């Protein structure tokens, strides 16, 4: 049987008539890092606060380590927490900030110091121990806040957008540090983010939320490759949506398999394809259609081409189809704006959704 550390059962949260969380059911395994991912206002922080006991659910139960902790105050839940910003007390040094978490432990001065230096070593900050927050970089501040959260040896860690105040480079570095420390300590961690890249790179499990509900949960690669709804497909990574059936167009020779799939999705069903799942082929190849290059964007690792359709092969949700191509192939083919190329969706890479609309 799986080792479940946290079990949320039918959690609902209402503020007056407004529903912030609607029937949330979520199991989190011991030692895993779970990212709660979703747009602003979808209920991520509310859910984190309910897990912490800082907020009471309107109904539903929170089980921590097999115990029904729904009525426990935060102090009985034994977690460490780091918030987005203002994580440290500005009038205290790093040492004093960390000691604050230990104030009720009645440690001797030597033991207290040892604990502080041990945890600072874990986050690589021993040299900054007597500095005030304003004397630290953003990354150092968040690492100090992490040290303060961890020094009490919590059973689990709650992080609410701990990296969002940092610039891209530092963010990437601290992201790696948090992840490796979390794995080293094996501490169950729930991290809120609205940054899909952060979730994809750090999480064991991603929980995608929207409008007070969980839309999908799974390993990053599962959620990316098999989004269960157009919302998830659109929120994680880039994707092209379109309606209609390619087979209606006489100029496309299509294999039976693709044709059947497209037809089974129905003319009104939504189809989608990620920009990296398109390939250039010889003209009039099976399943191919012609497009014109409208715009070329350089993305460092390659190019994104925005393509316009030549005929009404399908009804795109956006004006152009996006297509990612490696720099190598881009140069080999000497592509320029205005060129006509033949493309097709890579085999097995079309997504189908029952819904009418993606937003």
Ligand X SMILES: Nc1ncnc2c1ncn2[C@@H]1O[C@H](COP(=O)(O)OP(=O)(O)OP(=O)(O)O)[C@@H](O)[C@H]1O
**Cβ atoms within 10 Å of 124's Cβ, excluding its own:** 13
Quick one: which of 193, 187, 188, 226 has its CA closest to 207? Answer: 193
User: Nearest approach, Cβ of 100 to ligand X (angstroms)?
Assistant: 25
The site map against ligand X for 24-53 (x = CB under 6 A) is --------------x-xxxxxxx-------
233 binds, among Mg ion, ligand X, none (CB under 5 to 8 A by kind): none
**What is the rounded distance in angstroms from the CA atom of residue 270 to the CA atom of residue 230?**
8
Task: Name the minimum Å distance from CB 160 to ligand X.
Answer: 7
Contact status: 45 vs Mg ion (CB under 5 A) = yes
One DSSP character per residue, 61-105 reads EEEETTEE-TT--GGGT-EEEE-SS--S-TTS-HHHHHHHHTGGG
Q: How many CA atoms lie within 13 A of 201 on its CB side?
A: 15
Least distance to ligand X, CB of residue 27, Å: 20
15 or 331: CB nearest ligand X: 15
CB of 316 to Mg ion, least distance (A): 33
Q: Binding mask 176-195 vs Mg ion (x if CB under 5 A, - otherwise)? A: --------------------
Q: Which span (45-53, 225-233, 241-249, 268-276) binds Mg ion, by CB under 5 A?
A: 45-53
In whole angstroms, how close is the CB of 42 to ligand X at the nearest point? Answer: 4
Closer residue to ligand X in complex, CB, 171/271: 171
Nearer to ligand X by C-beta: 40 or 104?
A: 40
The reply on whether position 193 binds ligand X by CB under 6 A is no
- Host H or E run for residue 21: strand 18-29
Among 194, 274, 344, 351, binds ligand X (CB under 6 A): 194
Tokens describing residue 122? 């874990």
- Which of the 8 DSSP states describes residue 287? T
- Footprint of ligand X on 44-103 (CB under 6 A): 44-46
Which residue's entry shows tokens 């929980």? 207
Q: Between 38 and 275, whose beta carbon lies closer to ligand X?
A: 38
In order, the DSSP letters of 138-189 are: HHHHHHHHHHHHHTT--SEEEEESTTTTS-HHHHHHHHHHHHHHHHHHT-EE
Contacts of 279 (CB under 8 A, 6+ apart): 343, 344, 346
- Binding segment for Mg ion among 28-36, 40-48, 142-150, 301-309 (CB under 5 A)? 40-48
- Closest distance of CB 219 from ligand X, Å: 22
Cβ proximity of 295 and 337 under 8 Å:
yes
**Shortest gap between Cβ of 217 and Mg ion (angstroms)?**
18
C-beta of residue 225 within 8 angstroms of C-beta of residue 351: no
Residues written for the chain: 359
Number of shown-chain residues binding ligand X (CB under 6 A): 12
- CB-nearer residue toward ligand X: 18 or 301: 18
Note the residues at the interface with ligand X (CB under 6 A): 15, 18, 20, 38, 40-46, 194
């Amino acid at each position: 049987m799986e080792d479940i550390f946290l079990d949320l059962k039918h959690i609902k949260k209402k503020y007056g008539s407004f529903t912030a969380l609607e029937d949330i059911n979520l199991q989190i395994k011991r030692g895993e890092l779970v990212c709660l991912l979703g747009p602003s206002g979808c209920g991520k922080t509310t859910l984190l606060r309910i897990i912490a006991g800082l907020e009471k659910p309107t109904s539903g139960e929170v089980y921590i380590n097999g115990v029904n902790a729904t009525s426990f105050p935060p102090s009985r839940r034994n977690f460490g927490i780091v918030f987005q910003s203002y994580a440290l007390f500005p009038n205290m040094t790093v040492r004093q900030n960390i000691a604050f978490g230990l104030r009720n432990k009645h440690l001797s001065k030597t033991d207290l110091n040892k604990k502080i230096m041990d945890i600072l070593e874990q986050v690589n900050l021993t040299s900054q121990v007597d500095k005030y927050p304003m004397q630290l970089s953003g990354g150092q501040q968040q690492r100090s806040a992490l040290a303060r959260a961890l020094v009490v040896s919590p059973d689990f860690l709650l992080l609410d957008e701990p990296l969002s105040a940092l610039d891209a480079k530092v963010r990437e570095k601290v992201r790696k540090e948090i992840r490796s420390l979390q794995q080293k300590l094996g501490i169950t961690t729930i991290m809120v983010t609205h940054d899909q890249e952060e979730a994809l790179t750090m999480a064991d499990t991603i929980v995608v939320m929207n409008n007070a509900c969980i839309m999908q949960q799974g390993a990053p690669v599962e959620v990316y490759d098999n989004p269960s709804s157009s919302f998830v497909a659109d929120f994680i990574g880039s994707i092209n949506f379109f309606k209609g059936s390619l087979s209606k167009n006489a100029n496309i020779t299509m294999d039976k398999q693709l044709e059947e799939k497209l037809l089974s999705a129905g003319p009104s069903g939504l189809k989608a394809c990620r920009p990296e799942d398109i390939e250039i082929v010889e003209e009039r190849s099976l399943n191919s259609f012609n497009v014109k290059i409208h715009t070329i964007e350089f993305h460092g690792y390659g190019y994104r081409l925005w393509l316009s359709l030549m005929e009404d092969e399908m009804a795109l949700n956006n004006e152009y189809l996006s297509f990612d191509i490696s720099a190598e192939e881009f140069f080999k083919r000497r592509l320029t704006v205005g060129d006509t190329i033949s493309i097709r969706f890579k085999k097995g890479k079309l997504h189908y959704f029952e819904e009418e609309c993606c937003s």
